[in-house]
Amino acid sequence: MAKEKQFVKEITDMTVDFPQWYTDVVLKTELVDYGPVKGTMVIRPYGYAIWENIQAELNRRFKALGVKNAYFPMFIPESYLKREAEHVEGFAPEVAVVTHAGGEKLTENLVVRPTSETIICEMFSKWMQSYRDLPILMNQWCNVVRWEKTTRPFLRTSEFLWQEGHTVHSNEEEAMEETLKMLEVYKDFAENALAIPVFVGRKSEKEKFAGAVATFGMEAMMLDGKSLQSGTTHYLGQNFAKAFNMKFLDKDGVLKYAYSTSWGVSTRLIGALIMAHGDQRGLVLPPVVAPIQVIVIPIAAHKGGVMEKAEELVSTLNAAGIRAELDAREESAGWKFNEWEMKGVPVRIEVGPRDIENGQMFVARRDTHEKAAYNLGDAQAVKALLDDIQKNMLEKSRALRDSKVVWAESLEEIVKGVDGNFVKAPWCGCRECEDKVKEAASATTRVMADDSVEGKKCAICGKEAKTAVFFARAY
Position 6 contacts a second copy (CB under 8 A):
no
Instruction: Check if the beta carbon of residue 216 is closer than 8 Å to that of residue 238.
Output: no
Residues ≥6 apart with Cβ < 8 Å to 459: 408, 409, 410, 411, 413, 414, 425, 426, 427, 465
Residues in the chain: 475
Total of residues contacting a second copy (CB under 8 A): 59
What is the DSSP pairing of strand 214-221 with strand 227-237? Answer: antiparallel
Q: DSSP 3-state assignment of 103?
A: coil
DSSP string spanning 189-209?
HHHHTS---EEEEEPPTTTS-
Closest C-alpha to 343, from 281, 394, 296: 281
Position 332 contacts a second copy (CB under 8 A):
no
Least distance CB 157 / a second copy (angstroms): 9
Applying CB under 8 A, the span of 146-154, 169-177, 335-343, 439-447 interacting with a second copy comes to: 146-154
Q: Select the residue interacting with a second copy from 11, 25, 88, 95 (CB under 8 A).
A: 95
Applying CB under 8 A, the span of 63-71, 168-176, 256-264, 356-364 interacting with a second copy comes to: 63-71
> What are residue 36's DSSP bridge partners?
none
Position 299 contacts a second copy (CB under 8 A):
no
Q: Select the residue interacting with a second copy from 8, 27, 65, 96 (CB under 8 A).
A: 96
474, containing H or E segment:
none
Q: Which is nearer to a second copy, 96 or 415 (CB)?
A: 96
Burial of 332 (0-12, 13-18, 19+ CB in 10 A): exposed
Position 110 contacts a second copy (CB under 8 A):
yes
Position 69 contacts a second copy (CB under 8 A):
yes
Q: Which is nearer to a second copy, 66 or 455 (CB)?
A: 66
Applying CB under 8 A, the span of 69-77, 81-89, 336-344, 442-450 interacting with a second copy comes to: 69-77
Tell me the C-alpha distance between 272 and 14, whole Å.
15
Position 103 contacts a second copy (CB under 8 A):
yes
Tell me the C-alpha distance between 440 and 167, whole Å.
39
Tell me the C-alpha distance between 15 and 270, whole Å.
21
Site for a second copy in 18-57 (CB under 8 A): 33, 35-37, 40-45, 48-49, 51-52
Q: Select the residue interacting with a second copy from 25, 58, 138, 183 (CB under 8 A).
A: 138
Q: Which is nearer to a second copy, 45 or 359 (CB)?
A: 45
Site for a second copy in 200-219 (CB under 8 A): none
Least distance CB 130 / a second copy (angstroms): 6
244, containing H or E segment:
none
- How much is the CA Rg of the chain, to the nearest whole Å? 25
Contacts with a second copy, 161-180, as mask; x by CB under 8 A? x-------------------
Tell me the C-alpha distance between 269 and 266, whole Å.
6
Applying CB under 8 A, the span of 145-153, 177-185, 189-197, 278-286 interacting with a second copy comes to: 145-153
Position 129 contacts a second copy (CB under 8 A):
yes
Instruction: Tell me how far CA of residue 366 lies from CA of 16, 197, 281, 323, 369, in angstroms.
Output: 23, 19, 10, 15, 5
Position 89 contacts a second copy (CB under 8 A):
no
Closest C-alpha to 29, from 48, 14, 12, 9: 9
Applying CB under 8 A, the span of 12-20, 88-96, 304-312, 389-397 interacting with a second copy comes to: 88-96
Tell me the C-alpha distance between 289 and 462, whole Å.
46
Which stretches of the chain bind a second copy, using CB under 8 A? Answer: 1, 4, 33, 35-37, 40-45, 48-49, 51-52, 68-77, 80, 92-103, 110, 112, 119, 122-123, 126-127, 129-130, 132, 138, 142-143, 145, 147-149, 158-159, 161
